[in-house]
Structure 1
Amino acid sequence: MKKNFFLVFITTGAFITLLSCSKQELPEETTQEGPNTTMATSTTSSSTFNLGVNGHPLGPESYTSVPAKEQIALLKKLGMKSYRFDVTTTLSNGKMHAENYFTPLKYAAAEAGIVLVPMLYARGLDFNMKMSEAYNQGRWVAELFAQRYKNDFHYYNIGNELENLFILPLKSGTSSSHYDLKKFNIALHYLWGMNDGIKAKDPTAKTIINACWLHTAYIKMLENKGLKFDIIGWQWYDYMERSAKSSYGINDISTYLTSRFSKPIWFTEVGYKNNNNSTKESDRKAFFDSFMAKVAKNPRVKGAFIYELFDEPEKNHVHESYYGIIKWYTPYTQYKPTAYASAILQ
């Protein structure tokens, strides 16, 4: 079976990365450190729920070996509406690295009606900066990017789980005392600059700032300081789901978040750890099915992005290589859908 197996199947059968808690083990914590778990509930379906997927179409080979048009066709067949991907830029002019891969991607996405959501890395962030320097650096990076690509994007995810760079060891993240506040203020000003820079060049743009696990105080501190971003992004994985329930009695992270914040919530990464490709696909499917059913009933949750489209076996890393809902069985010429991806197509 060749690289287009997935399309044949359809015809015949019917995020340099920052430290990320998304793919790290959770620290050992005591329930005394945990949050108040009083939660609001909701049973109203959201008519605007946006199912998306993460990918790395600007690299590595597990993605670049698949033409952009074919990637977008896969999303369309899967019923996905959006494609989130990470972007590193050149500091001098805001140009994407590997822009040659982006150009066909944007045309294919536009033709198919797929929304592209860039996750813009915090280039040049340094915690030894003054706050004014951090603001200027963030604004420089984001303003150049938005000036160059404002016709291609409406949503911009600025930074990725920056709180993981200054959360204190063995803390849940539910209190401001759980963070290095000096570093927080540098990150705050950098993000403030990014937000201002994007909106200076793209005034109608919507900005997303994300966090993970139970790091709610980080987002609350950003809001309390007056940073006017638009959407809260959240990263959530299967082992977080289990730990939140067993340690803190949190059965639904979406209602936990919407009881604490007024902004729309996007789950910018939802994944299932698959160490050494050892996980049963039925278990992953069950997790995705259960999670998506819960968040789709919460009208304040506007989207969820599965992590990720393709496996990345070239990473050769126990935690990073096998998150894909499409698996390579002959890298990088033959692939097939997992149980979850197959089920969506029925």
Structure 2
Amino acid sequence: MKKNFFSILFAGALFTLASCSKQDLLEETKTNEGPNTTMATSTTSSSTFSLGVNGHPLGPLSYTSVPAKEQIALLKKLGMTSYRFDVSTKLSNGEMHAENYFIPLKKAAAEAGVTLVPMLYARGLDFNMKMSEAYNQGRLVAELFAQRYKNDFDYYNIGNELENLFILPLKSGTSTSHYDLKKFNIALHFLWGMNDGIKAKDPTAKTIINACWLHTAYIKMLENKGLKFDIIGWQWYDYMERSAKSNYGISDISTYLTSRFSKPIWFTEVGYKNNNNSTKESDRKIFFDSFMAKIRKNPRVKGAFIYELFDEPEKNHIHESYYGIIKWYTPYSQYKPTAYASAILN
């Protein structure tokens, strides 16, 4: 049954490339094209802030080894009320791949009062398309998905960090000149189709479009073109936090964003890069605690999703395998919380 998550406008794909949040973006900060760092500040506590987590419950093994009910129980123990996960669909009918994992997840989430937030892949996006073709493809993907699952979701995250496909090298992303505008227009029309397709089948749904780092011009261009999405999602990691402060004087990305946009803000990914599992867990905890305390003071920020629930050691990747706030010490049968999670779970 469809959940009415927040009574107000709260909110919080992986596309077929690595997320900005997993890339080394420090080279961007060596340019002289930094943003205007004049920012509004807020000290008012937000009573509507909600905490969630990212995960991959439809796969891989690090998640599918844990029953959906157990995953949701962990969220509840952590004080979380939402679960963001990536979704790939069949173009023929909009059905999720690995839907067999979604069915128990949906049941467990409904019973626990946890809101599921799908991140829908931009399937079929091709920058060689005409704009009309991009719109039609985006609409097809999203409309079929919403038609099938409209009773399960209130929020849809569409097109994860698509700007990384057409931002120019070594640009901060704060100006329209930092993007390949021909490719932007294709992405715009694809997203427009996705947005229209969802709302055609699920008119009360809220759509989220996200970006990362300082790619504010991308979102501003979407708004200026008239794309009527509802929530701005932002991906933010520890190295971005440090780089933004040292290179641009931005000590609070949330106030930087809310001074530039009027829509509600979700931090759809907040994480700490853990190269080859070498990070001190105490350092990660300090980052999470500090960042969450800071954004809770901004009433325009409605929530944040930590990246991610479980480590994914099967990826065997120096950057991708160790983002979890819960670690495997016997893959995939025994796990333990990191310093951040254990402070809550224990």
Q: Normalising to structure 1: TM-score of the pair?
A: 0.95
User: Cα distance, 1:226 vs. partner?
Assistant: 0.2
- Matches of 1:68 and 1:324 in 2, distance apart? 17
User: Cα distance, 1:49 vs. partner?
Assistant: 0.4
3-state SS of paired residue (1:91): coil
Map of 1:218-233 to 2, 5 A cutoff? 218-233=218-233
- Matches of 1:232 and 1:6 in 2, distance apart? 16
Unaligned runs of 5+ in 2: none
3-state SS of paired residue (2:6): helix
Q: Percent identity?
A: 90
Q: Judge conservation of contact 2:22–2:320 (CA < 8 Å) in 1.
A: yes
Q: Judge conservation of contact 2:11–2:302 (CA < 8 Å) in 1.
A: no
**CA distance change for structure 1 residues 7 and 206 in 2, over 3 Å: closer, same or farther?**
closer
Pairwise CA RMSD of aligned residues?
A: 6.1
**CA distance change for structure 1 residues 54 and 12 in 2, over 3 Å: closer, same or farther?**
closer
User: Cα distance, 1:4 vs. partner?
Assistant: 30
Q: Judge conservation of contact 1:2–1:334 (CA < 8 Å) in 2.
A: no
The answer for the alignment partner of 1:329 in structure 2 is 329
Q: Judge conservation of contact 1:236–1:267 (CA < 8 Å) in 2.
A: yes
User: Cα distance, 1:17 vs. partner?
Assistant: 3.5
The answer for the alignment partner of 2:211 in structure 1 is 211
User: Cα distance, 1:250 vs. partner?
Assistant: 0.2
User: Cα distance, 1:333 vs. partner?
Assistant: 0.3
Map of 1:238-317 to 2, 5 A cutoff? 238-317=238-317
Unaligned runs of 5+ in 1: none
- Matches of 2:255 and 2:177 in 1, distance apart? 24
Greater mean alpha carbon deviation, residues 41-50 or residues 185-194: 41-50
3-state SS of paired residue (1:174): coil
- Matches of 1:151 and 1:7 in 2, distance apart? 17
**CA distance change for structure 1 residues 122 and 6 in 2, over 3 Å: closer, same or farther?**
closer
**CA distance change for structure 1 residues 41 and 7 in 2, over 3 Å: closer, same or farther?**
closer
The answer for the alignment partner of 2:28 in structure 1 is 29
3-state SS of paired residue (2:10): helix
Q: Judge conservation of contact 1:139–1:190 (CA < 8 Å) in 2.
A: yes
3-state SS of paired residue (2:11): helix
3-state SS of paired residue (1:151): coil
Greater mean alpha carbon deviation, residues 308-317 or residues 13-22: 13-22
3-state SS of paired residue (2:2): coil
3-state SS of paired residue (1:243): helix
Q: Judge conservation of contact 1:140–1:194 (CA < 8 Å) in 2.
A: yes
Q: Judge conservation of contact 1:18–1:162 (CA < 8 Å) in 2.
A: no
**CA distance change for structure 1 residues 327 and 134 in 2, over 3 Å: closer, same or farther?**
same
Q: 1:16-43: CA deviations, max 9, x gaps?
A: 7333110000152355200000010001
Q: Normalising to structure 2: TM-score of the pair?
A: 0.95
The answer for the alignment partner of 1:95 in structure 2 is 95
After superposing on structure 2, the runs of 4+ consecutive aligned residues of structure 1 that deviate more than 3 Å are 1-8, 10-17
- Matches of 1:136 and 1:124 in 2, distance apart? 10
**CA distance change for structure 1 residues 193 and 336 in 2, over 3 Å: closer, same or farther?**
same
- Matches of 2:156 and 2:148 in 1, distance apart? 13
Q: Judge conservation of contact 1:15–1:56 (CA < 8 Å) in 2.
A: no
**CA distance change for structure 1 residues 4 and 56 in 2, over 3 Å: closer, same or farther?**
farther
User: Cα distance, 1:45 vs. partner?
Assistant: 0.9
- Matches of 2:343 and 2:258 in 1, distance apart? 29
Residues paired across the two proteins, number:
345
**CA distance change for structure 1 residues 332 and 287 in 2, over 3 Å: closer, same or farther?**
same
User: Cα distance, 1:15 vs. partner?
Assistant: 4.7
